[in-house]
Structure 1
Amino acid sequence: MQIRATTVLPAERRPITLHTADGLELVGELALPQDRAPEAALVCLHPLPTAEGMMDSHVLRKAAYRLPTLAGVAVLRFNTRGTESRHGKSQGEFGEGEAERHDVAAAIEYAEFEELPRPWLLGWSFGTELALKWGCDPEVEGALLLSPPLHRATDADLDVWGDSGKPLVALVPEFDDYLRPDEARQRFARVGQAEVIGVEGAKHLWVGEPYVRTVLNTVVERVAPGAAPLPREWDGPYERDTFTG
């Protein structure tokens, strides 16, 4: 069977609740390989909730549906404060990327408590801002950034990552609405170890299965290189995702 946009591969899926330092409960899910311990983990930071971003935004959802099985990677997704998806609504209100520092910290702490190995941040759009501003934590291996707008994140935030030496990989669509590859290379140049990958033909929302495959393959190449490239066929059991968002 060809793996399609609606394919859901087997995994152990646990609903979780993250508890922030300022007293909120955040809705989330942890997807784990069924038949082995994970060799790495992704902590997903979703796009802008005021523009319909959430833990179920399609690239993050497909990562959770495929990577535990295909790559042995755990995938932790959650709704930031005030964000709602089919998994439920997190407490609190949108904090313009500032109060969300507590949300990022809660997710990293959860990954540490669960002893998830080699956690990487996977941010998309607004989620890249959260990763850059609040995610350079000793427990984090590095960060993968999808469509970084670099609106809220400052040069000072980039310098923190540069000083850390942690890997920073930015996937920048050729036709992004906010930041395109050439400008992204200029902005990220102050982070010596940063890698900027321009993706030909892609747009900010990564619509289309070829672009999703590009994203997920790049992620796996960094966090679980032995599993790359990801197969396009699956002979085992699977489900269909009926979500249309």
Structure 2
Amino acid sequence: MEIRGPILLPAQREDITLHTTDGLTLVGELASPAMHAPVATLVTLHPLPTAGGFMDSHVLRKAAGRLPALADLAVLRFNTRGTSSPRGTSEGEFDGGDAEGLDLAAAMAFVRERGLPRPWLVGWSFGTEVALKHGLDQDVEGAILLSPPLHRTSPAELAAWAGDRRRLIAVIPEFDDYLRPAEAREKFSAVPAAEVIAVAGGRHLWVGENQTRRVLDEIVAAVNPSALPLPTQWDGPLG
């Protein structure tokens, strides 16, 4: 069958809770390869919750549904403070990207406790702001930014990534609502090593199977390139 839409490929899927240092409990899910240990870990950060973003926003849900089987990756998704999804509601209130740094820290503490390997941050829209503002405080291999608006990240917070050993990859839709490739190249020039990838025809929400596949390809190209090209057909059991 063709791999598309909300298909779930085999994985170990576990409902988890995270605990922040300011006393909140956050809800999430860990999806890992079904038969062996992952080669790397994606710590995902969802779009703006006040505009409907949550851990099940479609690109992140599809990453969790496909990449454990197709690319040997663990995918950690969670609702930041005050965010609800079918999994449940995380305690606390939305804080515009500031206190959400404590949510990221709780996710990274979980990664360490479980011994999950080679963590990468994958932020989408608002999630990129959390990654940029707080990612340097965490032991990660890099950050992949999908449709970064750069609304809440200050120029100083972005420039702080300059000279850091960790990779910074910005995936920019051609027709983004907030930041398009030419402006993105200008703004990310503050981080000379940053990789700005323009996606022809792309839009902020990455709607459509072709756009989803392009985003997942870029994630895997950074984290586990040996898994490329990702298959588009599956003839085994589903999970």
| Equivalent residue number for residue 231 of structure 1 | 231
- Quote the residue 1:95 is aligned against: 95
CA contact (8 A) 2:170 2:196 kept: yes
User: Where does residue 189 of structure 2 map in the other structure?
Assistant: 189
What code does the residue aligned with 2:133 have?
A: K
1:112-170 CA-partner distances (Å, limit 9, x unpaired): 11111100000000000000001113510000000000011112111221132210001
Residue 155 of structure 1: aligned partner: 155
The aligned runs of 1:189-208 (5 Å cut-off) are: 189-208=189-208
Tell me if structure 1 keeps the 8 A contact 2:19–2:26. Answer: yes
- Separation in 2, partners of 1:226, 1:175: 30
Alignment match, 2:112: 112
Q: What is aligned with 1:243?
A: none
Which segments of 5 or more consecutive residues in structure 2 lack a partner in the other structure?
none
Q: In structure 1, what is the Cα distance between the partners aligned to 2:133 and 2:221?
A: 24
Amino acid at match of 2:42: L
- Report if aligned partners of 1:112, 1:139 keep a CA contact under 8 Å in 2: no
CA distance in 1 between counterparts of 2:74 and 2:162 reads 26
The offset of 1:32, in angstroms, is 0.4
Q: Secondary structure at the match of 1:133?
A: helix
Counterpart position of 1:78? 78
Runs of 4 or more off by more than 2 Å in structure 1?
none
Q: Is the CA contact 1:165–1:193 (under 8 Å) kept in the aligned structure 2? A: no
RMSD: 0.9
Please name the residue that 1:129 is paired with: 129
Structure 1 counterpart SS, 2:70: helix
Identify the residue that residue 220 of structure 2 maps to in structure 1. 220
Deviation at 1:95, TM superposition (A): 0.8
Matched position secondary structure for 2:4 = coil
**One-letter code aligned to 1:40:** A
CA contact (8 A) 2:6 2:65 kept: no
TM-score (norm 1): 0.96
Q: TM-score, normalised by structure 2?
A: 0.98
Secondary structure of the residue that 1:30 maps to in structure 2? strand
Aligned-pair CA distance for 1:99: 1.1
Residues 1:141 and 2:147 aligned together: no
For the residue of structure 1 that corresponds to 2:137, the secondary structure is coil
Partner of 1:242: none
Alpha-carbon spacing, 1:205–1:16, altered in 2? closer, same or farther (3 Å): same
Look up the match of 1:64.
64
Q: Does 1:17 align with 2:20?
A: no
Equivalent-residue separation in structure 1 for 2:67 and 2:160 (angstroms):
29
Query: Retained in 2: the 8 A contact 1:25–1:90?
Result: yes
Q: In the comparison of the two structures, how many residue pairs are matched?
A: 239
Letter in 2 for 1:2: E
- Cα 1:138–1:55 change in 2 (3 A) is closer
What secondary structure is seen at the aligned counterpart in 2 of 1:117? coil
Q: Which residue pairs with 1:37 in the alignment?
A: 37
Give the counterpart letter for 1:20 in structure 2.
T
Show CA shifts across 1:86-107 (max 9, x none). 1000000111111111001111
Percent sequence identity over aligned pairs: 62
**2:26·2:90 contact (CA, 8 Å) conserved in 1?**
yes
